[in-house]
């Protein structure tokens, strides 16, 4: 009997460990994106002014999505800094931060604000913040959800390099480096540090950041409508080989309406959208 009990305990521990990975996976490693709206606007305004002798440039000017893709192409937005592949477009709405692409050391977004939406907690905290454009889009998303009787709660937005560092060190100290790298993002590689990502859940599932949210009415609504407000489900189901993370139906990332709609319509990932 006691052997059975041990076995059961071992299984419980395993499940617990697996769920921590789910909870902290991409959320530990979120990347920032920046505002490419200027680019978009340029693309929209410029077509008439664009030289016609270059048909490719002309097409891009007429197609804001193509212009965004060119400007933020993965291969063009990374360079070696302090021995790490570091993004060169940290402030772009389309910046891609992942396990292979870090933010510059100590990066802080320039325009963090607190969106006026319902959070799952009441205290003041840096995780209430997002970059301004993303925060305004989140307010519209939440307002629209409410109109459709969908109750969302914001759970965790911006995460500073410093906080990611202490989170990561905590895992290294208590569980060892290998475990830490599996459950938490190496500082500088969390999309939450960009100020463009936020974890969202619903009281209907106890505001947990787990896959069960994806099966709830709120999670389904979010997956279907986030792009209308410029957000994508950053770590889609079956995307691990590309994004580096398991499915995270709760983690949304602001990229602007044009890019989000393209990613949604093509059922793709940000990495693939920008050329990988």
- The residues binding Zn ion (CB under 5 A) are 27, 199, 251
Clarify whether 218 is annotated catalytic.
Answer: no
Residue number of the CB closest to Zn ion reads: 27
Least distance to Zn ion, CB of residue 45, Å: 34
Complex with Zn ion: residue 61 or 141, whichever CB lies closer? 141
Residue for token pair 């949604």: 264
Instruction: Indicate left, alpha or beta for 34 from its phi (over 0: left) and psi (-120 to 50: alpha).
Output: beta
Complex with Zn ion: residue 60 or 245, whichever CB lies closer? 245
Least distance to Zn ion, CB of residue 56, Å: 37
Least distance to Zn ion, CB of residue 31, Å: 10
Cα(35)–Cα(88) distance, rounded to whole angstroms?
A: 13
Residue 147: beta bridge partners? none
218, 252 Cβ separation under 8 angstroms: no
248, 258, 271, 276: the catalytic one is 248
- Alpha-carbon Rg of the chain, whole angstroms? 20
Complex with Zn ion: residue 73 or 212, whichever CB lies closer? 212
Least distance to Zn ion, CB of residue 163, Å: 13
Complex with Zn ion: residue 27 or 61, whichever CB lies closer? 27
Least distance to Zn ion, CB of residue 255, Å: 15
Complex with Zn ion: residue 101 or 251, whichever CB lies closer? 251
Q: How far apart are the first and last CA of the chain?
A: 53
- Residues tagged active-site: 248
């Amino acid at each position: 009997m006691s052997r059975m009990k041990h076995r059961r305990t071992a299984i419980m521990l395993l499940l617990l460990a697996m769920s921590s990975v789910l909870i902290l996976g991409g959320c530990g490693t979120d990347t920032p994106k920046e505002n490419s709206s200027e680019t978009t606007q340029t693309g929209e305004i410029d077509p008439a002014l664009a030289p016609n002798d270059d048909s490719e440039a002309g097409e891009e000017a007429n197609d804001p999505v193509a212009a965004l893709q060119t400007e933020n192409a993965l291969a063009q937005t990374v360079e070696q800094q302090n021995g790490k592949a570091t993004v060169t477009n940290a402030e772009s709405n389309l910046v891609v931060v992942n396990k292979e692409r870090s933010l510059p050391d100590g990066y802080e977004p320039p325009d963090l604000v607190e969106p006026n939406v319902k959070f799952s907690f009441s205290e003041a905290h840096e995780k209430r913040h997002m970059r301004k454009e993303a925060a305004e889009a989140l307010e519209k998303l939440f307002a629209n959800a409410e109109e459709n009787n969908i109750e969302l709660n914001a759970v965790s937005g911006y995460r500073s390099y410093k906080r990611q560092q202490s989170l990561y060190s905590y895992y290294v100290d208590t569980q060892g480096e290998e475990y830490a790298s599996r459950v938490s993002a190496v500082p500088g590689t969390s999309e939450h540090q960009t100020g463009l990502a936020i974890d969202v859940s619903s009281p209907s599932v106890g505001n947990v950041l787990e896959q069960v949210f994806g099966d709830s009415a709120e999670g389904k609504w979010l997956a279907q409508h986030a792009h209308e407000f410029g957000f994508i489900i950053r770590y889609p189901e079956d995307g691990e080989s590309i994004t580096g993370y398991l499915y995270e139906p709760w983690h949304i990332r602001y990229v602007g309406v044009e890019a989000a709609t393209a990613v949604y319509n093509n059922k793709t990932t940000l990495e693939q959208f920008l050329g990988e």
